[in-house]
Amino acid sequence: MSPANMVPPLNSVNTGPLPLDSALYDLDKGQQTFFKQITGIVGSEDLKQHIMSVQAKAYELFPYPCIWHFTFAKYSEVN
């Protein structure tokens, strides 16, 4: 696990969740293809906006690190 994956969803003074950061969105081509197929969304930017919208709604209810860091949207293929 890289240090970026270990960042807690609290700010440095523990007053609440960190704000969402679109710079953390980094799905690889395989992950993007998977989500395009299951959502029917064609464009990469449209897909990013959709996933960020889902992230924002989920994070509002559950400010967990896996939501903050887009881990919920990443997977590894098993052969």
Whose tokens are 């994956």? That residue is 5
pLDDT digits (tens, 9 = 90+) for 5-44: 555 555 566 667 889 999 999 999 999 999 999 999 999 9
Among the listed residues 12, 26, 9, 14, the one whose alpha carbon sits nearest the alpha carbon of residue 67: 9
Provide the whole-model pTM.
Answer: 0.76
Please list, in sequence order, all residues whose beta carbon lies within 8 angstroms of the beta carbon of residue 68, skipping any fewer than 6 positions away: 7, 9, 17, 18, 20, 21, 24, 59
